[in-house]
Amino acid sequence: MTFLIGIILIPIIRKFAILIGAVDAPRERHSHKRVTPTLGGIAIFFSFSIGFFLAPIDKTGFLPVYIGALIIIITGFIDDIVELSPKLKLLGQILAALCVTVWGNVVIEFINVPFYGQIDFGWLAVPISMIWIIAIINALNLIDGLDGLSSGISIIALMTIAGMAVILKDTFVAPVAFLLAAAVFAFLLFNFPPASIFMGDTGALFLGYMIAVLSLMGFKNVTFISLLVPLIILGVPLSDTFFAIIRRLKKRTPISAADRSHIHHRLLALGFTERQTVLLIYCMALLFSLAGFVFSFSTTWGSLLLLGLLILCIEVVVEFIGLISEDYRPVLNILQKIHRKRK
């Protein structure tokens, strides 16, 4: 039902976006070639909301999360219309995160670290949880650079979170994640290249917020290993954001400065088409999600070994596509030297 509501709403929202001038014109950093309406995130939010409130789910305690979502939607909507400054966008994210953590009390209170024991965060629980939410919001927003990219990655992340919640018998996170995935899938039908509508910041901020909150609700107050699971599931946008920060620090440019060196830009520069790039990143996201499943059911030593292999694989991919810079290749250079010696 949520999927069908989305299918009906998206063409209406598309016409509304054109009517009020909420459109994205092609610019230097953009890959699309024509003026495209935004505000697709409004359709995702409405179809999810209708499905959620009609679904037989215990909604106790969800009001703070939903109010936070409304703040995020309003922030994104205003940004899609008049383009807010980074500080005002961050303010909206902070207010939404405060709703969840302070009012809703959805926080990481402690973790159990292997070989050490339990670490209680105390008063740091709220700021740490807020940083978690804001980081994931911005990670998903930053990777929203190609048609269908953020929506596809969001579906993969949500389905993985839902699957794990089913295994953990979480009767709230699982259905909510499935409902949101259905709403995003309806949008993806209109957003896959060539897109006829964009989700805009309205959608990117909302999806990042919901994924962050659902992962926090599903994996809080557990072991350090389990806490890494949502980070692994969101490996593509988070690693892209991390290396973007490293790249900008290396070049001594502002962290908020835009560039054309994100993972999708680098793959396009290597000669892949837009569709091929999107599908490649989907495959990366699926591999991260699979690793997240394996990671959550591994022993401590197995998890640490898998984490080490993941970090090595990420580093090799980063160097191969030039995500930091084209001359940054420490691991590849070592592998080349080993290969030459064997010859």
Numbered residues of the known binding site for Mg(2+): 141, 201
C-alpha distance from residue 97 to each of 62, 141, 153, 178 (Å): 14, 16, 22, 22
How far, CA to CA in Å, does 35 sit from each of 29, 30, 229?
A: 14, 11, 38
8 Å CB contact between 72 and 96: yes
Rounded CA separation 23/45 (Å): 19
Catalogue the long-range contacts made by 128-134 (C-beta closer than 8 Å, 24 or more residues apart). 129/97, 129/100, 129/101, 129/216, 130/94, 130/97, 130/98, 130/101, 132/108, 132/212, 132/216, 133/93, 133/96, 133/97, 133/100, 133/101, 133/209, 133/212, 133/213, 133/216, 134/90, 134/93, 134/94, 134/97
Strands (E) across 115-169 are located at 117-120
Residue 37: in which H helix or E strand, if any?
strand 36-37
- Overall size of the chain counted in residues: 343
Residue 18 is encoded by which pair of tokens? 């054109």
Q: Evaluate whether 210 touches 106 at the Cβ level (below 8 Å).
A: no
> SS3 of 333, please?
helix
Cis status, amide bond into 194, omega within 30 of 0: yes
Residue 8 corresponds to which tokens in the numbers above? 């009906």
Annotated binding site: 141, 201
Please give the DSSP secondary-structure letter assigned to residue 3: H
Helix axes 125-142, 149-167, angle to 10 degrees: 140
